[in-house]
Each structure stands twice: as C-alpha cells, then as structure tokens.
Structure 1
Amino acid sequence: MADLITTSNRTLTAKEFQGLADVPPEVEWFANLGNVETRRAYENALKDFMNFTGIQNPEEFRVVSRAHIIAWRDDLLSRSLSSMSIRHRLAALSSLFEYLCEKNTVTHNPVKGVKRPAVESYEGKTPAIGDHQARELLDAPDGSSLKGKRDRAILATLLYHALRRDELCRLKVKDFKQERRGVSHMKISGKGGKTRYVPLHPAASGLIHDYLDTAGHGLEDTGALFRSTSNNRAKGSQKPITPDGVYKLVQKYSEKLGFKIGVHSLRATAATNALDHQADIAKVQEWLGHANIATTRIYDHRKSRPEDSPTFKVSY
C-alpha cells in the first residue's frame, strides 16, 4: 500500500483529478454509453426533453417529476410521432433516471408508471423484397470494376447473413476468415457489444474473395473488410465504407431496378426467406442478434398464408 501511495508517475494532474471527481452523474451517465448509435439516439431524446422543459444544467434533472414526463409525452403525441419513437425517447430518459437512482442522486425514477403508447404492429413496416428481386439486386453492380465487385460482395453479405449496416461497416478482413467445427464463419460485432458467429454462405464467400483479390487487401487481417472507393487506392484503401455509404449503395441499385428500398429491407428479406424455408425461429433470433424473440416474429409471415390456416386442418 505504501508503494502505491508514493507512486510518482501519475497520469492525471491534481486539477484534472478534482475535475473528474466533480463531474455530475448526469454527464457521467452519458459518457458511459458505449454504443455510438445509442449515444446519438439518447442525446436527441434528452435535447428534446430539455428544450421542452427549459432545463439548462444537468443538476436540474433532479427536480423533474412524473408530471413533467407526462406533459412531455403528451407533447410528443401531439407531434404525431410514431408510438415506437415516443417509447424510445421515454426509455432514454428512464435510463438516465435509473442511473441517478443507483448513485442516490434522486429518490425514484419519474418515468416509471408513465403510460406509454401501445406498440404498433411492425409487420409490413420494413418491406421484404421477393426472391427474384433479391437475385436481380445481386446482379445489378458491374462485376468487372473494383467498385462493382465490392458492391456485389456487400449486397451478398447483407442478403445472405441479415447484417445491420453498422455491423457490416465494422467487419474486419479477419472476421470473415473464422472457422468453427471445420465450417467457415463470419464474426459479427453486434449491438450492445455482443459478438455472434454465423456460417459464411458460399455465394457470399466467393464474391468477397473476388473483391479482395482485386482490391489487394486480403492479407490485412486487422483492416476494414469493405472499404471506401471514393479516393485512389493508396489514399482511400484504409477507410471503411460508412453506414451512410451502404444506405446510398442499396438505394441506388434498388431504384434502378424499380423498387427503392433501404438497407434494413435486406435484413428483413433474409429473415423472411429463412423462416419461409422452415428455419427454426429460435435459431433465426440468434442469427439476427435479437435480444427478444418477439422482434424476430415481426419477420415471420407464415401465419398470414391462407394455406397454413387451421381451417384446412379441420377434418370430419
């Protein structure tokens, strides 16, 4: 203990140490959010609440009551926001107050007990394209150019593995070289810092190898798998494609084919296709990285097929 006390190689100055000790828990909570998308969503929610209530300083959250939360919820409803958007904003605020409760900064969470809008049915909200449209989309990029090879590999990775666009952008070269029980797998860094491994589809594997052979970074294991082609190869080769770049890529090719869709439609397409071909829904849940199987059921359209109705199971 004495050695620890007399250590001289300190990183923080005394002023910096005191400054961190004085950080309000409200700011500490936000700084501790690891996921970039979560930080962005929670920041937008809190800014909206602060604008509504006139809060200027973090400490003012400590006098927020349930009445303030209800008034804000009603204001969100009056703006015709979707039920899920309102629920997400309330969840962001609830997360803050749960943290403040843990720190004994407030006595209770004022968001608890506030009635939230009913969850809407998501069926049909993110359209899944048909099998023939998926095949057309895979063939849409020009397979003779570097960009075309990359785009085909990206589309195949999305359609055969149901990745979120952020997950695709985080892929490293080594992530698609994983092997488990003799089968090639892809390592995916998902939401909440969770990692999952999914078998690599042969069709996607071939297109990824074709892209890497042309791009020339197949041996750079720690580098980004899918890279920007906006600059020349020497300057731009290290930059991973951005989520916005993936969105524009999918939108561009689908629009040319006559059906303008977003990236999430490819995830919905993969999930729907797997379920339609009798994949076990629990395994699809794990494959998609869903925390709750209820989310996976959104993609299960088998219950809506007339031929599967109990009507045709009745026999006298």
Structure 2
Amino acid sequence: MTAVVPAAGELARGAADPRALWPEHAQKLSAHLAGIYGEDDALPVLAGGWIASQRSTNTQKAYARGFKVFEEFAREHGAHPLAVRTGLADAFRLHLESAPTWRRVKGGQLERTGEPYSDNSRAAVLSAASSFFDYLDKVGDEAVKNPFDAVARPVLDPDFSPTPGYTEQEWAALVAVARDHHRAAAYRKRAYALLLVLYTCCLRIDSLLNARVEDLGQDKGHRVLRVRTKGGGRRAKAIPPVAWDALSDYLDGRTEGWLFCTASGNRLDEPAVWRLLQSLARRAGLPLRGPHGVKGDAVTHALARPDARPDRVQRWAEHASARTTQRYNRRKELLDDSPGYALGADLAGALQHGQPQRGRA
C-alpha cells in the first residue's frame, strides 16, 4: 500500500503550503494525526487530503470524527492505520458493537462511559473508514485493497427513525414557546426565527447554520435564502411570510455576518441548537429531540396536506429520489394505521362491559 505523497516537512518548506487551503476539519484531523505519528509520516497528509476531498462540511466533520475512532482502535492493537487488513477491520466492527462512547463528565472532561454506538453510528464510522481506503486506492501509485470491503455493516431499516416526530399541533406549540417563553428572553427572537426558517424552508441544520445574511435576497418576487445543499451545490429556498417577518424582526436591520449568530457575532453551532430544542421541548411538554428531525417533520406534514403534490415536496426537500420522500409518509402510516389500535379498542370495550374471560368457569 504505497501512495505518492511528499513528507509533510517537504510541503512546509515550499513557498506556499497547499494544506493551508484545506477546510477546517481536514486541517484539524491532519494536525491531530501529526501529533501522534510525526510530521514525516504519510498518514496526516493522506487523511487530511481525503477529508478535504469531501464536498460538504457535514461529511467532512462526520468522516473526520469516524476516522479518529478507527485510528485509535488500530493504534491500541499495534497496527498503523495504513497497514490494517481485513481481520483487524472486522475486529473493529465487533469492537463497535460494545465499546462505550465518549461522554462529557463533570469538569468538562471526556470519558468513554457513554452508551454503546447505535446502529446508525456504527454504520457511519465503518463508512468513514472504508471511504478512506477507497481514497488511497485513487491517489496511490499501486492498487489498494480496501480491508472494509468484506466487513458487514449494520442493517438499517429506512422506515425506522429513533427521533420522535411531532404533529403539526405540537410544532405550533414548540414555536409558540420559542416566541413567548424561551428561558433567555434576549434570544427569543433568534429562537423563533430559527425554528420557522428551519421548518418552513425544509432545511438541513448545517445548511442553515452556514448561511449568511448576504445570502438573503429576492427572486421572481419571492424572498429567498440561498443555501448550500447536501451535494455541495447552492439552491434558493423561498421564505414564507411568517418566517420572513420573524427573521426581519430578529435581524433588526443587520446586513452582514452569519444569519444566526451568537452575541459576539460568531456562527451559531449545532450543539447550541440541540440545547435550544431540548430546552423548548421541556417547556412545551414534548419529547426531547435534536435539529435533524425537523426536516423530516416538515416533509411529513407537507405530504399530509389535501393538496399535496409529492413531486413538488420532493424538489422542496431536495430529495434525489421520490422513494426518499415517501419514506417519511410510510413512517407515519406505520403508526397511524396500526391495527393494534382497533384491537385495543375492542379489548377495552369488552373489559369495560364485563366480558367474561375465555377459559374461566
């Protein structure tokens, strides 16, 4: 497994280091690995280049996080990540099934005392490791056998989601709490606008948090927000009047900077949105959830409307396939149309009227 990669020291001696152009997560992963393996090892440059080749910031972040888990396991078992073979790769799969996750404890320290990785998390970590070796095969001067090709991935049911869904009435309650009862009164306008734009524009959370005020505009008479999509492209999303009014009230004339920012002007990050949604859910008496389920709720509610056009909902949600759009409907139908409701109602009626139990004298 050989790759044509100059040593990090040789790159640094040049007039301009191309690594300076790498995105944030590529630079961080490369620096992390250089601190372990040294500047002359090929791994930091290869791993950084691999992360930099990913189109979306979200993928870069997820792959870098997953690769750290794989690298730590390989190192603890005496193997350099570039020398891992199928046997150790499959052992890594088994390790993930029971290994505790990192959890922040008192004092801000991280400890491996959290719950084991979920099926989705294990699939993501294995996908990241496999993607790294696919990248090596493309950039190396010799063919590289991917040790994860023969490793079984967790079976993921596309119709199952661990995130609790909200009804339209529950969403209205959540938004009302953000507007009127958010614990920090100074941030109520921001919370209210964020929820409305996220929901009515059917956005991924990373697309919204990476948007800037300068991305707002008009197109053919519509107020729009131009955002980065999952594949790395850009799309103008129409902003409904209720969301535009809330956004304008929050911005209060601001014309530049991150669309949703902290008091100091820095970009609002995803953990902050997680905390916001959990706080609002508690106050509204709703199940706790994070920002990733918002888009699914928006799609489900749009499809449930009497005048729904699935093809339009598909384009609005930026789904490449109609099957992805309909998946949200199936999840809802599995609950709404459960035969257990009818069975339970019949049983409750029989019990209420003193129906004798079979088999009793």
Residue 50 (structure 2) aligns with: 29
1:162 to 188, 202, 214: 202
Corresponding residue pairs, total: 282
Q: Using the alignment, how far apart are the partners of 1:18 and 1:239 within structure 2?
A: 29
Q: Using the alignment, how far apart are the partners of 1:154 and 1:45 within structure 2?
A: 29
1:284-312: CA deviation from partner (whole Å, max 9, x where unpaired): 333233455544333214644549xxxxx
Give the letter aligned to residue 99 of structure 1.
Y
Determine whether 1:195 maps to 2:234: yes
> Equivalent residue of 2:308, what SS?
coil
Cα pair 2:74 2:80 within 8 Å, conserved:
no
The correspondence of residues 153-302 of structure 1 with structure 2, limited to 5 A, is 153-179=193-219, 181-213=220-252, 216-217=253-254, 220=255, 222-229=256-263, 236=264, 238-259=265-286, 260-277=288-305, 279-301=308-330
Determine whether 1:100 maps to 2:120: no
Instruction: Flag the structure with more relative contact order, 1 or 2, with Cα contacts below 8 A and sequence separation at least 6.
Output: 1
Cα pair 1:83 1:120 within 8 Å, conserved:
no
CA RMSD of aligned residues (A): 3.3
> Equivalent residue of 2:299, what SS?
helix
Cα pair 1:127 1:268 within 8 Å, conserved:
no
Q: Using the alignment, how far apart are the partners of 1:239 and 1:46 within structure 2?
A: 28
Residue 22 (structure 2) aligns with: none
Residue 312 (structure 1) aligns with: none
TM-score, normalised to structure 2, is 0.67
2:187 to 128, 147, 163: 147
Determine whether 1:126 maps to 2:124: no
Residue 344 (structure 2) aligns with: none
Q: Using the alignment, how far apart are the partners of 2:178 and 2:130 within structure 1?
A: 45
Cα pair 1:163 1:288 within 8 Å, conserved:
yes
Gaps of 5+ in 1: 1-11, 230-235, 308-316
Residue 86 (structure 2) aligns with: 66
> Equivalent residue of 1:249, what SS?
helix
2:127 to 71, 75, 91: 91
Q: Using the alignment, how far apart are the partners of 2:200 and 2:11 within structure 1?
A: 52
- Distance of aligned partners of 1:20 and 1:187 in 2 relative to their CA distance in 1, 3 Å threshold: closer
Percent identity between the two aligned chains: 28
- Distance of aligned partners of 1:63 and 1:161 in 2 relative to their CA distance in 1, 3 Å threshold: same
Q: Using the alignment, how far apart are the partners of 1:252 and 1:294 within structure 2?
A: 33
Question: Per-residue deviation at 1:55?
Answer: 6.9
Q: Using the alignment, how far apart are the partners of 1:18 and 1:67 within structure 2?
A: 41
- Distance of aligned partners of 1:86 and 1:294 in 2 relative to their CA distance in 1, 3 Å threshold: farther
Question: Per-residue deviation at 1:129?
Answer: 1.0
Moved more, 154-163 or 272-281: 272-281
Q: Using the alignment, how far apart are the partners of 1:290 and 1:91 within structure 2?
A: 21
Question: Per-residue deviation at 1:33?
Answer: 4.1
Determine whether 1:113 maps to 2:150: yes
1:109-140: CA deviation from partner (whole Å, max 9, x where unpaired): 22223222211344342222122221122222
Q: Using the alignment, how far apart are the partners of 1:147 and 1:280 within structure 2?
A: 36
Gaps of 5+ in 2: 1-9, 20-39, 100-115, 339-361
